[in-house]
Amino acid sequence: MNESQPEPIQLQTPKSLLAKAKATMQQHGCLVEEGSVTLPPGSTRTLCERYLQTTTQWYDLVLPDQFRMLEAYEPQRHLSILYLPPQ
């Protein structure tokens, strides 16, 4: 059987990220570049039904190591704001 690897999820983000947030995401296998974050293969992105869907769409992001983040996606700007859990 030839199963293809899932594609990594790439998100467009603001150009500047907090250093601590960047380091945390890198520790969990994310590729963090200026203006984008690529989640590792095997990550999931699920629309949150529990949040009011206005112009912002909310997604649960789960990385392969089970690290969770919340994404606020603004479709008109093609921009994702990532919320990491408190540490």
Is 67 part of any domain? yes
How many domains does the chain divide into? 1
Is 45 part of any domain? yes
Is 20 part of any domain? yes
Per-residue pLDDT of the chain (87 residues; tens, 9 = 90+): 445 667 889 999 998 888 999 999 999 999 999 999 999 999 999 998 766 667 889 999 999 999 999 999 999 999 999 999 987
Angle of CA points 70, 59, 79, to nearest 5°: 85
Which domain range does residue 13 map to? 9-83
How far is residue 52 from each of residues 17, 30, 65, measured CA to CA in Å? 26, 28, 28
Strands (E), 1-87: 9-12, 31-33, 36-39, 44-47, 57-62, 68-74, 79-83
Residues 42/65, Cβ–Cβ less than 8 Å: no
What tokens appear for 25 in the block?
A: 């995401």
pTM of the model: 0.85
Is 29 part of any domain? yes
